[in-house]
Amino acid sequence: TKTPLTLLGLGAMGTALARTWLAAGHPLTVWNRTPAKAEALAAEGAVVAASPAEAVAANGLIVVCLLDHASVGSALEGLDLTGKDLVDLTTGTPADGRARSAWARERGARFLDGGIMATPSMIGAPAAGGYVFYSGSPDLFEEHRSALEVPAGARFVGSDPGHAALHDVALLSAMTGLFAGISHAYALIEGEDISPKDLAPLLTEWLGAMGFFAGAAAERLVSGDFTTGVESNLAMQVTASSTYLRTAAEQGVSPELISPYLDLMRERLAADPAAHAGEDTAGAITLLRR
Ligand code: NDP
């Protein structure tokens, strides 16, 4: 028999999650602030609760996927959570996850925070590669793992309830830099006789090859040795990167998306040129925690 569960929140993401549990045969109780969003799911077999209290009372496993940390607080305010297993898939910060965990524990519930690494169309589509980071109660995770794995893959990243959000935001922040770089590249060729469609596969191939930096930087950070010697050293990179800025100026493109990172490389070199010239760019990471 499949674990029955309750889902609070039927936005784009919550609705996608709900459909996968219904399709997999999990008895599902749902609640949404705007009741109309539950109608289609009722036709697909969901039990629609009239209030968060009714939804929470229906099952032991409670999943929430609302807009933000504050909306979760307002939906669950004053409810009896004694003995419940609460899983919060709402995007938040590490501090939000830790605060919700303490809040749940005070109310007698076990807690798991989740960070969804997928868009709604990737939910229930294993080939799309989406998954969810989970952290918090290992017992809750193990007990409900099979239900949690229905919408997307589940990756447990430790008992600190802030670490799911930290992993989520670390990956999304890295993505932000990647998108910024791609945006700058397209701005550079705008107005030239180069189609974005011709640059696209070159960008994809190049960024794939440059993904090695994640592993290389990790080696440097763990060993504390940033030296690379002659291969792409910082002194060369600082000089080379000035051509990025001059090219942007020639093309009439703002350097705003790339210059902060180049400035950081320059700052690292300038702090002690003799010591840092032979490093790779990973040394710049050590300047960020201010
Ligand atoms: P939507 O905007 O589609 O849905 C928001 C949901 O939150 C709705 O159910 C809405 O209810 C509810 N809500 C908002 N404010 C309140 C409140 N004060 N009290 C009660 N309910 C409230 O967002 P998504 O479904 O796309 O996102 C939900 C969560 O999933 C977010 O934290 C988001 O960051 C995360 N997520 C979304 C992804 C995506 O690509 N969509 C990807 C990864 C994570 P109502 O219908 O009444 O407005």
Give the domain CATH number at 54.
3.40.50.720
pLDDT for the residue numbered 187: 98
Segment 216-244 mean pLDDT? 88
pLDDT for the residue numbered 136: 98
d(CA 135, CA 113): 5
Domain count for the chain: 2
Check whether residue 31 and residue 10 sit in a common domain: yes
Cα–ligand 1 centroid distance for 65 (angstroms): 6
pLDDT for the residue numbered 185: 98
Q: Is 11 in the pocket of ligand 1 (CB under 6 A)?
A: yes
Residue 185 makes CB contacts below 8 A (sequence gap 6+) with: 199, 203
Check whether residue 141 and residue 46 sit in a common domain: yes
With 0-12 / 13-18 / 19 or more C-beta atoms within 10 angstroms meaning exposed / middle / buried, residue 166 is buried
Domain termination site, one of 159, 179, 204: 159
pLDDT, tens digit, 9 for 90 and up, residues 48-57: 999 999 999 9
Segment 85-104 mean pLDDT? 98
Segment 26-42 mean pLDDT? 97
pLDDT higher than threshold 70 for residue 100: yes
Instruction: State the average pLDDT for the chain.
Output: 96
- Domain CATH number, residue 245: 1.10.1040.10
pLDDT higher than threshold 80 for residue 226: yes
Which residue has 């705003």 as its token pair? Answer: 256
Number of other CB atoms surrounding residue 18 within 10 Å: 29
pLDDT higher than threshold 90 for residue 152: yes
Segment 103-131 mean pLDDT? 97
User: What residue owns the CA closest to ligand 1's atom 18?
Assistant: 71
Would you say how long the chain is, in residues?
290
Which residue has 């925690």 as its token pair? Answer: 289
Q: Please give the model's pTM, rounded to 2 decimal places.
A: 0.94
Check whether residue 143 and residue 37 sit in a common domain: yes
Check whether residue 31 and residue 82 sit in a common domain: yes
Q: Is 171 in the pocket of ligand 1 (CB under 6 A)?
A: no
Report residue 183 CA to chain centroid gap.
20
Q: Is 67 in the pocket of ligand 1 (CB under 6 A)?
A: yes
Segment 191-220 mean pLDDT? 96
Check whether residue 236 and residue 174 sit in a common domain: yes
User: What residue owns the CA closest to ligand 1's atom 37?
Assistant: 13
Residue 34 makes CB contacts below 8 A (sequence gap 6+) with: none
Candidate of 15, 64, 67 to mutate for ligand 1, largest count of ligand atoms within 8 Å of Cβ: 67
Rounded to 5 degrees, what angle do the CA atoms 51, 112, 149 make?
90
User: What residue owns the CA closest to ligand 1's atom 8?
Assistant: 11
Question: E strand or H helix at 108, and its extent?
Answer: none
Cα–ligand 1 centroid distance for 87 (angstroms): 15
Q: Is 7 in the pocket of ligand 1 (CB under 6 A)?
A: no
pLDDT higher than threshold 90 for residue 11: yes
Q: Could you tell me the two tokens for 257?
A: 């998306």
Check whether residue 214 and residue 275 sit in a common domain: yes
Domain termination site, one of 130, 159, 188: 159
Question: E strand or H helix at 144, and its extent?
Answer: helix 138-148
d(CA 290, CA 274): 23
pLDDT for the residue numbered 229: 67
**Nearest by Cα to 110 from 136, 90, 147:** 136
Check whether residue 178 and residue 134 sit in a common domain: no
Domain termination site, one of 128, 143, 159: 159
Check whether residue 19 and residue 151 sit in a common domain: yes
Check whether residue 60 and residue 121 sit in a common domain: yes
Q: Is 90 in the pocket of ligand 1 (CB under 6 A)?
A: yes
Residue 100 makes CB contacts below 8 A (sequence gap 6+) with: 69, 72, 86, 88, 92, 111, 113, 161
Look at 231 and 219; give whichever has higher pLDDT. 219
Check whether residue 177 and residue 152 sit in a common domain: no
Segment 60-65 mean pLDDT? 98
Residue 281: domain span: 167-287
d(CA 162, CA 182): 30
pLDDT for the residue numbered 228: 81
Give the three-state DSSP class for 224: coil
pLDDT higher than threshold 70 for residue 230: no
Q: What percent of the chain has pLDDT over 70?
A: 99
Question: Strands 153-156 and 5-8: what pairing?
Answer: unpaired
pLDDT for the residue numbered 194: 98
Check whether residue 149 and residue 55 sit in a common domain: yes
User: What residue owns the CA closest to ligand 1's atom 4?
Assistant: 11
Segment 33-44 mean pLDDT? 96
Check whether residue 149 and residue 38 sit in a common domain: yes
pLDDT for the residue numbered 290: 82
Q: Is 93 in the pocket of ligand 1 (CB under 6 A)?
A: no
